[in-house]
Amino acid sequence: MTHIPAQKPLLDDLFGTYREPVKTAKKTRAPKTPAPVKVDVEAARTDDAELRAFALASQPEGAPRPQNRPMGVEALNTTDVTARLKANSLAAEIARSEGQLTPQAVSALLAWSGEGGLGDQSASTNAFYTPAPLVGLCWDIARALKAGPRTLEFSAGGGAFLEQAPAHTLLTAVELDETSSRIAQALYPHAAHWNVPFETYHRQSEDAPFDLVIGNPPYGGRGESGNLDRPRIRAAHWYFTVAGLEPVRKVIS
């Protein structure tokens, strides 16, 4: 039997002739050029600022030459509780205000001595002003060690260690007490200030490494902030010692 191949279908065109159907290629559309994305520059700057704030990213400026002004109880004629309370109240009021500081206002801020040792009038039992000679000794040791400029003060208070910092030091100051932090910010605007528990700064900050960590840690129990990091360390001074050493730059001799 002879095999007859299947006939391809034919179409009749306008001239009455037969032609095989021609398969036309599918038309492809040119890809659309995406519209340019509009960037809100101001919003981006705001986002960057918020990210830096969340990361506690410090941007300090170099410190001026130290003035070594009398501070705390050393700035008062008398150190009794009444005199300290009056000086602290005035300093706190000035710290909450806005505007340029007069020399008289600066003197009042320098007289802030913290709330430690004020008996029943104290909101804190372990916030004491660090004497200037002790602060100076610590900075002398730092100079002898030839520490670099990046410095963390982990319990800054009103700024005793900031007051005597060598010129060009890049200071980052952490302080839990709001009033003390405001006073330090007003007196030392070149430093980066964080009014947060040191536990929060230690966990979130991206500032490390530092060349030097300096300060007078708080003593006593850690309170509620102790739950934020290493709650098994119950004494505040031990936590500050351990956590304060971790961001220090490792130097191989």
For 4-35, the pLDDT digits (tens) are 555 545 444 444 444 555 565 666 665 565 55
Average pLDDT over residues 233-248: 96
**Domain assignment of residue 39, yes or no:** no
Q: Does residue 42 register a pLDDT over 90?
A: no
CATH number, position 78? 3.40.50
Tokens of 153: 């003060």
Q: How confident is the model at residue 47 (pLDDT cuts 50, 70, 90)?
A: low
**Domain assignment of residue 94, yes or no:** yes
Identify the residue with better confidence: 3 or 233.
233
Q: Does residue 165 register a pLDDT over 60?
A: yes
CB 164 within 8 A of CB 143: no
Identify the residue with better confidence: 23 or 156.
156
* Structural domain that includes position 153: 72-245
Q: pLDDT value at position 98?
A: 84
Question: Sign (positive/negative) of CA torsion 235, 245, 65, 100?
Answer: negative
Q: Does residue 186 register a pLDDT over 60?
A: yes
Question: Sign (positive/negative) of CA torsion 159, 164, 165, 167?
Answer: positive
**Domain assignment of residue 161, yes or no:** yes
Average pLDDT over residues 139-161: 97
**Domain assignment of residue 114, yes or no:** yes
Number of domains in the chain: 1
d(CA 213, CA 161): 11
Tokens of 137: 């000794």
Q: How confident is the model at residue 250 (pLDDT cuts 50, 70, 90)?
A: confident
**Domain assignment of residue 22, yes or no:** no
pLDDT tens by residue, 74-129: 999 988 999 999 999 999 999 999 888 999 999 999 999 988 777 655 555 456 67
